Each structure stands twice: as structure tokens, then as C-alpha cells.
Amino acid sequence: MFRLGIDTGGTFTDFVLVDAQGRLRVHKVLSTPDAPERAILEGIAQLGLDVDSLQLVHGSTVATNAVLEGKGVPTLYICNRGFADLLTIGRQQRAELYNLQPAPMPPPVAPECCVEVGGRLDAHGTLLDPLTDEDLGAVRDAVQRLAPEAVAVNLLFSYLDPSLEAGVATAIPGGAFVSLSSQVLPEIREYERGIATWLNAWVGPKVARYLERLQHGLPGVPVAVMLSSGDTVAAAQAANHAVRLLLSGPAGGLIAAAHVGRAAGIGPLLTFDMGGTSTDVALVDGDPRLTSDGRIGPYPVAVPMVDMHTIGAGGGSIAWLDPGGMLQVGPQSAGADPGPACYGRGGRLPTVTDANLLLGRLQPDAFLGGEMPLDVAAATRALDGLALGMHTTAVEAARGIVAVANEHMAQALRAISIRRGADPSHHVLVSFGGAGGLHVCALANLLDMRTAMVPVHGGVLSALGMLAARPGRQLSRTWVAPLSAVDDADIDTALARLADEGLAALQAEGHDAGACEVHRSLDLRYRGQSYTLNVPWQGVGGSAAAFHDRHALRYGHRMHMAVELVNLRAQVRGPSPDLRLAGVAGGEPARPRGMVRLAGIDAGVPLYLRERLVAGQHIDGPALIAERVATTWLEPGWALNVDTIGNLMLQRV
């Protein structure tokens, strides 16, 4: 069997194929945002693959794009009486703290699409307002009148007794996509639970239809989808987990970065994934960190996802002048259609890619291995228009674009590291994505980092991560109680119940339960706090001590207060795929393909082809390293060595 990892990005769709002998092939095609499966089927055809011997692991942006663009399906929201405005009121947090007249945000659910019913519990699970036949009749009438594609049910304290939500579901006619908060996120905090349930319903049908089209184009091919937590789920179940797909593609990059970092024997890592539309940054020390405090656009997403920070700065980010004449870059992007001006597909606005081409850091005949020549004249015309408004030359405008984009990315890297107490200089900067290698030295300089790595297959690393990911589930259940008042045996029993649920889900996908791993943990807090810290379960005493230590590490102090249990968590994962990086051989160092001219460099700069570099080869900057799916710009003052895997290990001299 051939295993194929696919990452659908905003500009390119990336492919990494591993055959039965463990050999890797990489490929890229332009994305087709209106129908992402078209690019996937086109890439598979170009690779000449026999679908009868293919297994596919996919990172999808369908759910993400639907949320960010506000293009979910018509959804009915069912809640307890008096709580129809819950999702609109939220936490009353203001995006612009000092703006006295902020623009009103449209409510997630229109008032006419909210139905209030009984079935209300108190915090101890006691029924306060019964669910009546009249309530169920109101649900049926609303579904018949509004004909929604999806229904989200979010009753108070549903995690204590899911039977009331299940009763509401029985009144919903067949055909509608139904999400129950007791299944989507059985945790405390009704607003976050409600948003997660509504998002799951709002985009679930779109995910389902997309996966149906993909599987129709690949009949009989086993398809798995990457979750935001870095686990994979069978495509048949993915639509039910739509809210857990919002960081599907970026999660693959972090899984692969951790995999390559372990193989290279380096860490901890500070990663940045620069694609065509956005840049994702994260800290990776061992496995990628998970968080339940993520956000997508204006919405909190409390399901477990990789802990990363995303900004609208990518190769396709558009440069423009604000009303004060200040140069800005992004967040608007040229995307895949028409793409940057240099793609020759009708784009006329200047982008980061056009700037790198004009500076010589991208070579017009080396992009995608020469299969996609870049139009220097079109890029120059796009930059000329911007330069006119800046009263400078096109080359100077290009320098400014790259400098602004670098500062945006450096700020994001500071947010994920320095603001969390991590010193970037103690980390290795790992760049990937199609545009990452062009900016890695500049970002390391801005962060005072001395070591960086451009990993093997860095231009398609998220697709590689699909092949390194393990099947898995993240399960949770709220249990609010003083930790000291709970017996070890009771927690063991409850955690075992969660683990059994995850094991059953993996067994249903054909995985051997005996080969699965279970990691159990607790969300704890000091009594009176709102936020929690997650610690491994090691008995009541051991977990309490671990919480005190983690609180001191995170916040700089510990408190002499009672520790409170909030959530139980079980992470269940199947066996790791056998993904070995073949590496590169030693031998005579490769010679440059030629010398090229770069703006600001007086002498010619050597251009190397990465596939010809040998293990142990040393190169001093300045130099360009071109490969089929990316380019690395080795700045003056930097040197690189090629390790035995094929990673470019960069060192500031």
C-alpha cells in the first residue's frame, strides 16, 4: 500500500507519498478553494497513482474557511428558557478595549433561529424545569418552519445528565445534522460549550458534503482526516467532529516538526510555518502542546487543539499603503486565484512573493522545480505602483515589504515564547512551509537566536505530518469538586470509562486496542480561580503536588489554597506509523548550479540545488538553496551544515 499525506493550503495543496519501501515523493499543485477535492484529485493524477493501493491522510481547511468566511449552513439553536441570547452576549469581552463606539458584531444565531425549551438542571444535576411535550412540539414546529440544515442543542449542565438533550434530539425530524453539547464538549462553561456545539453544527454539513465528494472521486480508498489535536479520525466520522478540524492542516506541521526534531536530536523548538496565506508559530518541546483556550476568528474554541498563534502574513500577503502613507502587509492575501502577480494568473497587487522575486531571493526558473516559471515583469509592474506612492524604487519597496512581513512574524514568535516565559535564544528556530526558508535567518536575527533548522521536505512539512500522525481521540468530562475530597479509586473509574470510550472508537476504525496508549490527566485550579492547568493523573496527592509546581512555573508563585478538580481528560492514541526519513549520503560536496545576482549583494551569490547536497556539506552565506517545493535564503553571517537526514542546520557565525 502507498500512503499519501495531503495538506490543503490557501495557495497550494501539498502531497507527500511514501511507498512500500519507505521512499518519499513530494508534489504541489495550486489549490482550488471553491472545491478543494479538485486539486487533490488533480495531484493524485499527476503523481500517476493507482487508487486501488492507496491510503490517504488529509488535512482539510473546509471547516476553517467556512468559519472565517462566515459561510456555515442555516442552523437552529435550542437552549433552555431565558438563554436564547447566550451566544450573542458571550463573555462581554471587547475586541477594541478603548473604542467607545465599536462596530456591532452580528449575533452567531439570529433570534428567530433560537428555540427555548425546558429540561433545565442545576449545578448538582437536579431537574428545575422539566422537558415537556409542548417543548418537543415547539422544536418540531421550528424545524418544519425554518427547514434548517443543522440543529445545535445546548442545555445547561448537560454534562451531568445527557438524557435531556437526547430527548430533544428525538423530536428533530431525520435529515438534519444534529449536534448535542453533551457529546461535542461535555465540560463546564455554558458559553464555550454552546459555541463549540453551534460551530460543530454550523460547518458539519459542509465538511460531510466535501468528504463525500472526495470519497466519490476516490472510491474504495481509506481516508483519514487530521484533527486539530494532531490525531487522525476516519473520514466517515470526521463530520461529527467538525469543530475539531479547525486547525487540521497546521496541526500536521507541528506533528512533523516534532518527528523531524526527534530524528535530528534537537529541541526545544520554536516553529514557524509560512505558507501562501498565513503564518503559524508554536513552541514544541517533545510532542506539540495542546490547549483548550484556542480561538478561530471571533469565536473561542474550547476543544483540544495544538497551541499555536496564527497571523495573516504569508507569501501571498498583499502590500498596501494606509491613509497615512504607512506601508502595511496583509492580512489580505492574493490566495491561489489569481495569486501573486508573478504567477502570471492575472494578479496585479504586490505581495511578499513578488518582493522576494524582485530581490532575487526567488529565482524565476527554479520555482516548483522549474515547472512554474515566475513572471519578473509582472512582479515589477506590481511593485512599481506601490513604489510610486512611497516615492522610492521598486527594489526599495520590495525591501520594505519583506521587512514589514518579518516584523509581523517576529511579533508572533515573541507572543508564543517571550510572553509565556520562554527565551527564544534557548530554542532552535524551525522554519517550514513554502515561504519559510526565505525568512528564517532574518527572523532568527530579530529574536537573537543563533541556531535554526530548515527540515527535510520543509516546503511540504504539514503534508509529511499527516503521515506521522497517530489515530486518536481526546475525551473529557467535567467533575467539579475539591481534589482532597475525591478518592483515587473514583477518579480511576471515571478515567477508565473515558478511556474505554476512546478505545471503542479506535477499534471501530480497525485499530488494535492492545496497541493503543492512554494518557490520563486532570484540569485543576486553586479554588476561586477561573482558569485551569492540566497535570498528569498520578493519584490525588501526586497530582496536587504537580499542580503546585506547574502553577509556580507558569505564574511565578504558588498559593496556600485548596486545589479544585474541574475536568477529567483521557487521550487515547493508536500505534505510531512507521515513517522513517531515508536521509542523504555523504560524498563529494555539491557544487553550485551557478551564480545569481541579489539586490544589495555586490558579488554573485551561489545557487545550490538541495537534492544534490550531501551529508556533512558546509556552506557559508550568502547562498540560495533551491528545492522543488521551497527556497532557503542563507544570509551573510550565517552558515549551514547538512545533517545525515538532509536537514539544513543553520548557525549564526
- For residue range 54-90, what is the model confidence (pLDDT) as tens digits? 899 999 888 888 887 788 999 999 999 999 999 999 8
DSSP-assigned letter for residue 293: -
**Backbone phi, then psi, for 545, in 5-degree steps?**
-65, -40
Three cell numbers at 104?
456591532
Question: Which uninterrupted H or E stretch holds 249?
Answer: helix 248-264
Confidence label for 429 from pLDDT (cuts 50, 70 and 90) = very high
CA distances from 452 to 88, 457, 629 (A): 44, 15, 19
The 10s digit of each residue's pLDDT in 262-314 is: 988 998 999 998 887 788 899 998 888 889 888 887 889 999 999 988 887 88
Are 208 and 177 contacting, i.e. CB atoms less than 8 angstroms apart? Answer: yes
The radius of gyration of the chain's CA atoms, rounded to the nearest angstrom, is 26
Three cell numbers at 9?
493550503
The 10s digit of each residue's pLDDT in 468-478 is: 999 999 999 99
Among residues 572, 609, 574, which one has the least CA distance to residue 591?
609
Confidence label for 23 from pLDDT (cuts 50, 70 and 90) = confident
Distance CA 171, CA 164 (A): 12
Q: How large is the average pLDDT for residues 571-598?
A: 89
- Predicted confidence at residue 629, as pLDDT, reads 80
- Predicted confidence at residue 49, as pLDDT, reads 86
The distance between the two most distant Cα atoms of the chain, rounded to a whole number of Å, is 83
Are 621 and 605 contacting, i.e. CB atoms less than 8 angstroms apart? Answer: no
CA distances from 380 to 345, 394, 595 (A): 15, 7, 22
- Predicted confidence at residue 286, as pLDDT, reads 84
Are 39 and 499 contacting, i.e. CB atoms less than 8 angstroms apart? Answer: no
Kindly list the structural domains of the chain, giving each domain's residue range(s) and its CATH number in brackets, ordered by start.
2-67+208-248 (3.30.420.40), 71-204 (3.40.50), 470-573 (3.30.1490)
Q: Is 138 exposed, middle or buried (0-12, 13-18, 19+ CB in 10 A)?
A: middle
Three cell numbers at 109?
444565531
Distance CA 478, CA 474 (A): 14
Q: How large is the average pLDDT for residues 18-34?
A: 83
The amino acid that residue 649 corresponds to is M
Residue 1 has pLDDT above 80, yes or no: no
The distance of Cα 328 from the centroid of its chain, to the nearest Å, equals 25
Are 397 and 387 contacting, i.e. CB atoms less than 8 angstroms apart? Answer: yes
Percent of the chain as helix, strand, coil, to the nearest 5: 35, 25, 35
Query: To the nearest whole number, what is the mean pLDDT of the chain?
Result: 91
- Determine if residue 62 is left, alpha or beta; phi over 0 gives left, psi from -120 to 50 gives alpha, anything else beta: alpha
Triad 401, 296, 223: Cα angle to 5° = 100
- Predicted confidence at residue 94, as pLDDT, reads 77
- Predicted confidence at residue 455, as pLDDT, reads 92
The amino acid that residue 364 corresponds to is P
